[in-house]
Amino acid sequence: MTDLSSPTSQAHVTEDSPIARHWLVTVVVVCLAQFMVILDATITNVALPSIQSDLKFSAGDLQWVVNAYMLVFGGFLLLGGRAGDLLGRRKLFVVGITVFTAASLLDGLATSPGFLVGARALQGLGAALVSPAALSIITTTVPEGPDRAKALGAFAAISGGGGAVGLLLGGLLTDALSWEWVFFVNVPVGIATLLLALRFVPESKAEDTRGGFDLIGAFLVTSGLVVLTYAIVKAQDFGWGSPKTLGLGAGAIALLVAFGYVQTRRAAPLVRLSIFRTRTLTTANVTTLFLLSGMNAFFFFGSLYFQQIKGYNALESGAAFVPMTVGIIAGSVSSQNLIARFGVKAVLLGGLVLGALGLAWMTMLTPDSGYLGGFLPGIMLLALGIGHAFVPLTLIATGGVDPDDQGLASGLFNTSQQIGGALGLAILSTFAISATDHATGTHAEALVHGYTVAFAIGAALLALAAVVVAVTLRAREANASAAAAEGVEALVAA
């Protein structure tokens, strides 16, 4: 792997930048931005009832407060990642933060459903520029070995735990102030991040940018991903076998196939399809797709369980997820030493199995289950599993990739997360609703039965992810991709 201390590698980072000597500040800045982006995926959930009441959303349209963000975020991630490689990663990072912060202000000032949904879509575009740029800035700035492993560990902990913090913060802001503040809170954080980025984040981009920007490829892949994400999030309304869903799915596949064909004919493609020959990268993305499918559904159905079954208010519901954040951080920290002792593959498998056991535990929930004996053991198993899985996934998704393709690799990894989350939520919601409709007993018992069916499918998805890792990932390749042999060993001393 490339040694970032070598003269060749230093060409990827502006040499006179102060962060070339102080990479730790860079990590803090990009992690702050990533935290803001991940936080916003869940912070609105507990504020939805207040938003619906104040802005007069219909029950059917309310989902677009969340879906508009997910749709644009997921659709533009790959484009944002590659644009960072070609145009400059800091440049895209700064533009993304500016768009995200401005859109957050517009969200809070919204006076109608259309205004808010449009602003949320703009916010998703900002997130799609920020997230892949943030990860690629770390992988091209921080030296390989224990330092980069720690930086990616922090990034992974934030990516995994930010959603749980969003539920707590959303409840606190909604109860103490108003729903507008779940958006306004981003404004001072975004401005501070922007100023720090301009001062401390170095510019970097691919050394070979000949051939320009593949506009046709960019249009095809972005359109394909947007249509695919839309088909997924609307499948519950249309029905999975309806002509609308099947037509949208076919259209998305046609666009993505056309994109693949165009990439094989371009001298300077937006995405070099040969990147998928990197076994570690491909395995990491498939695994992440399954992991996020199960994990995001947990946040959704867990919130419903607390508010609809246990009668928690927004703040109490958010507070119930605090152990989730603690567990993910603890798992992320301990995973680094475990990687040094047992290897990347073993730690990743262990994390996925723990997560599956956590979701399996929650299939035993009933309307009368207590928090400490019913919900908490499952949430801790899942949190520790996610923490132990996200760090090795982040390492192998980017570690074996050429520096010129770091933005692309980051975009692929983030796209897997967003598509996986949207797909999992849509599929599990369909099964949960069907199970509830066919359940016997009281209304509460029927609802919980639907939630436990969703948890069971989520556990199966994490188990499937473990099978993918066990079958396709070679331990030696995973360790080499993660930090190079000497980097992994150095983690023990660190």
Q: What is the pLDDT along the chain (494 residues), one digit of tens a residue?
A: 333 333 333 334 444 444 444 667 777 787 778 788 777 777 777 777 788 888 887 755 676 787 778 778 877 777 777 776 777 788 888 898 999 999 999 999 988 888 998 999 899 889 888 877 777 777 777 766 666 667 766 776 776 666 667 777 777 787 778 888 888 988 998 898 888 888 877 776 666 555 556 677 778 877 887 788 778 767 767 877 888 889 988 998 999 889 888 878 776 676 777 777 777 778 888 898 899 888 776 777 887 788 788 888 777 877 888 888 788 888 888 887 788 788 888 899 999 999 999 999 999 999 999 888 888 999 999 989 988 888 888 778 776 666 666 666 777 777 787 778 777 777 887 788 888 888 888 888 898 999 999 999 999 999 999 999 988 887 776 666 555 323 433 333 33
DSSP assignment of 193-231: HHHHHHHHPPP---S--TT---HHHHHHHHHHHHHHHHH
Query: What contacts 159, CB < 8 A, 6 or more positions away?
Result: 34, 38, 390, 394, 417
Residues 144 and 257 in one domain: no
> Which pLDDT belongs to residue 487?
40
Domain for residue 11, yes or no?
no
Check whether residue 467 and residue 413 sit in a common domain: yes
Determine the Cα angle at 27 with ends 21 and 30, to 5°: 125
Residue 13 lies in a domain: no
Which domain range does residue 466 map to? 18-213+270-493
The pLDDT of residue 177 is 84
pTM, whole model, 2 decimals? Answer: 0.74
The whole-number pLDDT of residue 61 equals 67
Question: 391 and 312 share a domain?
Answer: yes
- Whether residues 140 and 236 fall in one domain: no
Question: Do 193 and 93 touch, CB atoms closer than 8 A?
Answer: no
Domain boundary among 254, 269, 284: 269
Note whether 441 and 355 are same-domain residues.
Answer: yes
In a shared domain, residues 56 and 43: yes
CA atoms within 13 A on the CB side of 116: 25
Residue 129 within any structural domain of the chain: yes
Same domain, 48 and 136: yes
Cα distance between residue 60 and residue 57, in whole Å: 8
SS (H, E, C) 160-201: HHHHHHHHHHHHHHHHHCCCCHHHHCHHHHHHHHHHHHHHHC
Task: Work out whether the CA dihedral 167, 170, 176, 178 comes out positive or negative.
Answer: negative
Residue 286 in any domain: the answer is yes
Among the candidates 252, 269, 286, a domain finishes at 269
Three-state SS at 62 = coil
Please give the full DSSP string across 426-467, using - where no structure is assigned: HHHHHHHHHHHHT--S-HHHHHHHHHHHHHHHHHHHHHHHHH
Residues 240, 312: one domain? no
Q: Quick one: 203 and 220 in the same domain?
A: no
Name the residue among 112, 113, 115, 119 with its Cα closest to residue 186.
Answer: 119
Q: What is the CATH number of the domain that holds 30?
A: 1.20.1250.20
CA distances from 449 to 266, 371, 434, 442, 445 (A): 52, 17, 10, 11, 6
Rounded Cα distance, 435 and 446, in Å = 8
Domain contains 3 = no
Assigned domain for 370 exists: yes
Distance CA 190, CA 195 (A): 9
Q: Do 107 and 47 touch, CB atoms closer than 8 A? A: no
Query: Structural domain tally of the chain?
Result: 2
What is the model's pLDDT at position 40?
76
- Residue 160 sits in the same domain as residue 229: no
Residues 169 and 229 in one domain: no
> What distance in Å separates the CA atoms of residue 113 and residue 1, rounded to the nearest whole number?
50
Half-sphere CA count of 433, side-chain side, radius 13 A: 10
Looking at the domain assignment, is residue 6 inside a domain?
A: no
C-alpha distances in angstroms, 93 versus 66, 195, 265, 395? 23, 12, 30, 21
Claim to verify: residue 226 and residue 319 sit in the same structural domain: no
Q: Does 317 fall in a domain?
A: yes
187: its two tokens:
């404004």
